[in-house]
Structure 1
Amino acid sequence: MHFTQHEAHAEKDVPIMVRGRGVHLWDAQGKRYIDGLAGLFTSQLGHGRHELAETAATQMSQLEFMPLWSYAHPPAIELAQRLASDAPGDLNRVFFTNSGSESVETAWKLAKQYYKLTGKPSKHKVISRATAYHGTTQGALSITGIADLKQNFEPLVPSTFHVSNANAYRAPELTAGALEVTDRESLERFGRWAADQIALTIEAQGPETVAAVFLEPVQNAGGCFPPPPGYFERVRDICDEYDVLLVSDEVICAFGRLGHMFGAEHFDYQPDIITTAKGITSGYAPLGAVIASDKLMEPFLKPGEMFGHGYTFGGHPVSTAVALKNLQLFDEEKILEHVRSNAGSFRGTLEKLLNLPIVGDVRGEGFFYGIELVKDKVTRESFNAEESNRILYKFISKKLFEEGLYCRADDRGDPVIQLSPPLIAGQSDFEGIEQILRGVLTEAWTLI
């Protein structure tokens, strides 16, 4: 099983989910759960959408498979056109993959070959952020900033470097007490400091060797870190100054998660590449995409050149047809507008939990939130390893599931609970999530 401690199921059955409808899941025993994680940040339109299943069946009956190796097919062409029209700026070139890891892997390879073709072959290094997760393939894992995930697979791909992330809740600790992040001015100064770490790393490595910076609009691992004001504006300036590509890793943040089609729109910055997957089909078929600027395509249009990369199932006819229907339903049901109009209610409902002694911070954007747990709200003291294992994993994670809430409890960084419900969720769903969390976290506090 994926990312699973198998010994946990030596004497206890693996939970088996057999049905989904809307924002709910049912297990093999008939118990109902709130899907507070959209499967895995993926089920944007919710479960049981017959329109998407019917689209897949129709496409299978017409053309079940055709690779994009020197050929094309209508669903891939139409979806590429749709993505290019939705993406910001001149991001008009689309390369299809099967997953987020493959999209990140592809973007790095694209950046390296682009610079080789434009006479800068030494530009191959990548910068990303501490604790950030970018995937599990060897290249994407190398870009990932979580040491515990990497150690078993070393040596990894060289040439990756990590800078401080934009976790404002821990900013005084990151900056040795130089900033007290309590207001917009302080947040802007912290954002400038965090962005400048990228410039310092580029200088240290040599600008002639750095190809790209990979950043999520809202960093997932660690517990949903939104960027401080001005952060991405400064990062864009840094990338322009040093001729470094800005890759917006939107495997989670694209397709409505933050209330816009792409997270870069939400925070008003222009990337050179966007990496996507997950919500592009609402999970009804596997698909990912890399959306690149016209500039990056230019050297590949010269006689004899090609991007020496591809996947058998990348841009699969069924997956691309499902994605097109998914985005059509986004338009018809005004999903982006729904998220934007309900984001404040989701935040407000979760922020009620701040009156619990165990809740230190509630942070995020749109329908994507993290709740950081602490031992002391004043000092922001976190759990130690033993407490995290005993309280977060052995109690909170299991108890939330028992009470009917499927979400994520994680300590890649500090202990957090992550929430990312389907984009069709409303106030009654938010309240159901909050009530279950309140009961479990109140009980958890007695175990500290």
Structure 2
Amino acid sequence: MVFMTTTANVQTEPVSAPAAGVNWTPLQEAGRDHLWMHFSRMAPFQEKPMRVIDHAEGVYLYDDRGQKILDGLSGLFVVQAGHGREELANAAAEQAKKLAYFPAWGIANEPVIQLSERLASYAPGSLNRVFFTSGGGEAVESAWKVAKQYFKLTGKPMKHKVISRMSAYHGTTQGALAITGLPAMKQAFEPLTPGGFRAANTDFYRAPEHGDDLVDFGLWAANRIEEAILQEGPETVAAVVLEPVQNSGGCFTPPPGYFQRVREICDRYDVLLVSDEVICAFGRHGTMFACEKFGYEPDIITCAKGMSSGYGPIGAMIANERVMEPFLQGTNFFPHGYTFGGHPVSAAVSLANLDIFEREGLNQRVLDNEQAFGDTLRKLLDLPIVGDVRGDGYFWGIELVRDKGTKETFDAAARELLIKQFLPNALMDNGLYCRPDDRVNPVIQVAPPLISGQAEFDEMEQILRGTLQDAWALV
């Protein structure tokens, strides 16, 4: 079973133990004895059998007990094209038979070249240079490293710091974790890589001093980034790293004009703007890269997840020609790489996945349906436990509150009960996989595969409604 919580997606035990006499399958026993799961409290699985997902098709998961579960999170914001796409499996098999592996270290292969060209064609402006990684955290790590080296090569060696936003999540490597703005996620691993600093995020729901003026709030939030650069000293700041829509905290969308002002600030102080699109790229907001939708051109894009729809592990850092230029001079090179970065099979699968995007018009499907998706979820605002519904595209957050009038949130004990114990199990048992999370304030996030439509929106709303009514009665 999936039990997500504060310091990322930490799994905890359900409210009540399984009924007496529940038998462990051999697979569950093997999982109990040998599998160390990510972001998970392992003790509960020594006593209670874990849920095992057996197979998936379209927008549905099926567990080892035969239960059908709507995948309301695309796995983990990943499975854009849906589950069970045979052509993606076939693309992997064909490439594995032809060339299963070769590193992208000074020698290329056909799919990795083709994918780099394809991604460059989608990216805005002169973002033409694609550095492949195994996933999103590695892409963010690569972006910080290249930013530091870029300024060393261009005569500004003091520029090494990064400004990111409060409560934002950017990955688990030592560098990406230093950029992350969630203190609880860092404490076990400190001291981290030095150089990460924070500015305000765009949580408009909890910005009452700005009233209803979203534009004014966006200008205020963007100016906090300038303030952070000036506080640290522009001669020491290399990059600003921002998600187009901030994940942690529950889908904080950018106010109108926000990114345009951030771009001006970065240009003024010679700071690279990194658009962290590990979640937001590849159709999650109806465009290949979300920066296009929100009207700004970064210097670097980091991406992963939906590039292959999860049919192969892959990520990328995409840099513009300005960043690449010093690395084309003389003996300069980027002393950084990954064994599986640009894996031929994952690259071939990603190409086939992008073919599906174009053939089935998945980006346009999101644009056509995002209003209906939001409207359907906003029906939940009639519940006393739902304070806010916010998001964009196929990426939405539902903030839970103790009091709608005052926006009072839940205390630690109630969060433990709601987010760590009751909701994950109840939602799955009721047929919906999504993400209860309280890394900031308690939210439920939904981000279904891009092939979803009104029928799936309605199903999500109905399951959420019934489960949240039970949750409200519980607290």
TM band (smaller chain) = over 0.9
Give the match for residue 189 of structure 2.
153
Shift of 1:10: 2.7
Shift of 1:166: 0.4
Is 1:35 aligned to residue 66 of structure 2? no
Deviation at 1:137, TM superposition (A): 0.5
Unaligned runs of 5+ in 2: 1-36
After TM superposition, give the deviation of residue 12 of structure 1 in Å.
Answer: 1.3
| Structure 1 residue 375 displacement after superposition | 0.6
Aligned to 2:132: 96
Q: Deviations over 1:69-117 (max 9, x none)?
A: 1100010100000000000111000000001000000000000000000
- Equivalents in 1 of 2:210, 2:393: separation in Å? 27
For 2:115, the equivalent position in structure 1 comes to 79
Q: C-alpha distance in 1, partners of 2:51/2:243?
A: 31
| Secondary structure of 2:121's aligned partner | helix
Residue from 338, 342, 350 that aligns with 1:315: 342
Paired AA for residue 83 in structure 1: L
Alpha-carbon distance between aligned partners in 2 of 1:5 and 1:227, rounded to the nearest angstrom:
34
Identity %: 59
Count of paired positions:
439
1:21 counterpart residue number: 57
| 3-state SS in 2 of match to 1:383 | coil
Give the secondary structure class of the aligned counterpart of 1:149.
Answer: helix
> Over aligned residue pairs, what C-alpha RMSD do you find?
0.7
Residue 192 of structure 1 aligns to which amino acid in structure 2? L
Given the alignment, which residue of 403, 408, 430 partners 1:376?
403
Shift of 1:7: 2.2
Cα distance in structure 1, aligned partners of 2:93 and 2:417: 46
Q: Which residue in the other structure is 2:86 paired with?
A: 50
* Residue 340 (str. 1) matches residue 367 (str. 2): yes
- The SS at the match of 1:446 is helix
Cα distance in 2, alignment partners of residues 13 and 51 from structure 1: 34
Q: Deviation at 1:19?
A: 0.4
Distance 1:371 1:10 in 2: 32
1:236 aligns with 2:263: yes
Q: Which residue of 2 aligns with 1:175?
A: none
> 2:461: which partner in 1?
434
* Structure 1 position 368, deviation (Å): 0.2
Displacement of 1:390: 0.9
Instruction: Give 3-state SS (helix, strand or coil) of 1:113's partner.
Output: helix
Instruction: Report whether the alignment pairs 1:219 with 2:259.
Output: no
**For 1:301 and 1:430, how far apart are their aligned partners in 2?**
49
Q: In the alignment, which residue of structure 2 is the partner of 1:282?
A: 309
Q: Which residue of 2 aligns with 1:179?
A: 210
Query: Aligned partners of 2:367 and 2:57: how far apart in 1?
Result: 23
Instruction: Indicate which of 361, 367, 384 corresponds to 1:357.
Output: 384
Within the candidate set 228, 234, 257, 1:201 is matched to 228
Deviation of 1:59 (Å): 0.4
Cα distance between partner residues in 2 of 1:393 and 1:113: 42
Task: Tell me what 2:105 maps to.
Answer: 69
In the TM superposition, what whole-angstrom CA distance separates every residue of 1:264-292 from its partner, at most 9, and x where no partner exists?
A: 01101010000000000000000000110
C-alpha deviations, 1:292-350, integer Å up to 9, x for none? 00111110011111011111110010010000000011000111111111111110110
Q: Which residue of 1 aligns with 2:11?
A: none
**Residue 392 (structure 1) shift:** 2.2
Which residue does 2:29 correspond to in 1? none
Residue 162, structure 1, aligned to residue 206, structure 2 = no
TM-score (norm 1): 0.97
The Cα of 1:204 is off from its aligned counterpart by 0.8
In 1, distance between residues paired with 2:60 and 2:474?
30
TM-score relative to the length of structure 2? 0.92
